[in-house]
Amino acid sequence: MSGRPWRWSLGCAAALVVTACEGAAPAPAAASASVLKAEAEEVALAASPGGRADAAATQAPWTLPRGESPTVRAFFVRVDADPSQRPEDESEGFHRRGDEALLITADAAGTLQIWPAWGRNEAITLAGHVARVERVAASADARVLVSSAADQTLRLWFLEDNLAISGEHSSGAPLRPSLPGAFNPPVALEGAEGQITALAVDPRGRQVAVGSALGGVYLWATEAPTSVAGRLAHPAAVVALRFDMAGERLLALPAAGAPRIWSSADGWGAATLVGADEAARAYVFGAFSRDAEAIALLRTSGAVELWSGDGAEQLSVAEPTSAAAPIEAAGSVFGAFGAAPQGASAGQIWPAEAERRRFGWPASGQVLVVSDGAANVVKRTGTSRPLRVAGPVIDAVFSADGGLLAIVEEGGRARLWRLRAADRAAP
């Protein structure tokens, strides 16, 4: 048996299909009467004539099966089977395929479960943490996954590439993947210092980058992950990391100051500053263009800056539009870039956008507003759609194309909504 954990191959199909893992299903966690009633209604809907078609027509959410420990976080991972061969017309490719998203849920005990986000199949379970998982990142084909937990542990997962998405091995045998365990564990990444604040995996799965609250950026080579391959000097806490598509350059966003770029051509040596290193500058997201000729940066104010790929020249600045719908309710707001801070400005809730096809920019034309026990998906134009929730929302995340929404409620219930095509943000 290989020393690496199992892998799977996603290929180019529209949805990942896996069968249940070996062993008995865990006992469901306790649920309130309102939650059980809502779930019973969904079961009745799925069992009605037409079954899943009826559910799709009414946009009923999918309540994920409960585990022994309550779900506390949710993440989406976009899947691109071959990042070097994207179609010229992205409307038929990567960005428009919400059904190529993987939903990852994390429970309070540190267990991760990976779900095919466009189907109601059993999850694959990754058991390697003992504390709540805070962050995940993956390669473009989702064969390499890295996770960090609240106890600052890092785990590297290799997902077997000999498993077909049809539910069978290439030999035709039923697909029954073994869970990582004593003979096939995840790889513990050791050597990072301080609180883990950012993760990135290069699209081809060759390198992992980890950012620290103490300012360091650490690199591991996935072919030899038992020791740190390099430490990149960084003067402040790192809030986000991003590789270019070739995995040859790395962008780091600090808590304050200028973003920095490192290049493998320089041996990951001295960083290049993107603009002046001023403390007033702060960002929440950044990305290289597909051809690495430009960089898009999202400020905390909601403005988007475009820079040349080497960071030497600022090309433009786009301010958030003033025509966006106001959010007047006092409560929580979840958008494409995570939860908005309390008292967030309109620009933070409705930021400007970079070109989605060029930069892989998340769709930010809608947000989830949770207030006084009510949840509504509100679009930038002001239209809204109510969603039924049975308890306080502790986490919510949209898929990159805006077509899927996962919500985690207090008590551990996780639900997945497939938003109507008309509700998706325009590309």
Instruction: Please check whether residue 192 lies inside any domain of the structure.
Output: no
Residue 348 has what pLDDT? 92
Instruction: Please check whether residue 110 lies inside any domain of the structure.
Output: yes
Instruction: Please check whether residue 106 lies inside any domain of the structure.
Output: yes
Residue 48 has what pLDDT? 37
Contact call for residues 115 and 104 (beta carbons, < 8 A): yes
As a whole number of angstroms, the distance between CA 352 and CA 318 comes to 6
Please give the residue range of the domain that contains residue 63. 1-182
Upper half-sphere CA count for residue 155 (Cβ side, 13 Å) = 27
Total domains, the chain = 1
CA angle 276, 278, 283 (to 5 degrees): 95
Instruction: Please check whether residue 266 lies inside any domain of the structure.
Output: no
Q: What is the pLDDT of residues 242-275, one digit of tens each?
A: 999 999 999 999 989 999 999 999 999 999 999 9
Q: What is the pLDDT of residues 296-325, one digit of tens each?
A: 999 999 999 999 999 999 999 999 988 888
As a whole number of angstroms, the distance between CA 248 and CA 261 comes to 10
Instruction: Please check whether residue 367 lies inside any domain of the structure.
Output: no
Q: What is the pTM of this model?
A: 0.79
Instruction: Please check whether residue 40 lies inside any domain of the structure.
Output: yes
Collect all residues with Cβ–Cβ distance below 8 Å to 53 and sequence separation of at least 6. Answer: none
Residue 87 has what pLDDT? 38
Residue 174 has what pLDDT? 36
Instruction: Please check whether residue 175 lies inside any domain of the structure.
Output: yes
Residue 158 has what pLDDT? 86
Chunked into runs of 10 residues, the chain (427 residues) has average pLDDT values of: 34 26 33 47 40 43 90 90 42 37 92 80 84 94 92 89 37 40 70 95 96 95 92 94 96 95 93 92 95 96 96 96 79 92 88 94 93 90 91 94 94 90 44
CA angle 323, 398, 359 (to 5 degrees): 75
Q: What are phi and psi of 322, to 5 degrees?
A: -85, -5
Count the Cβ atoms, other than its own, within 10 Å of residue 107: 24
Instruction: Please check whether residue 58 lies inside any domain of the structure.
Output: yes
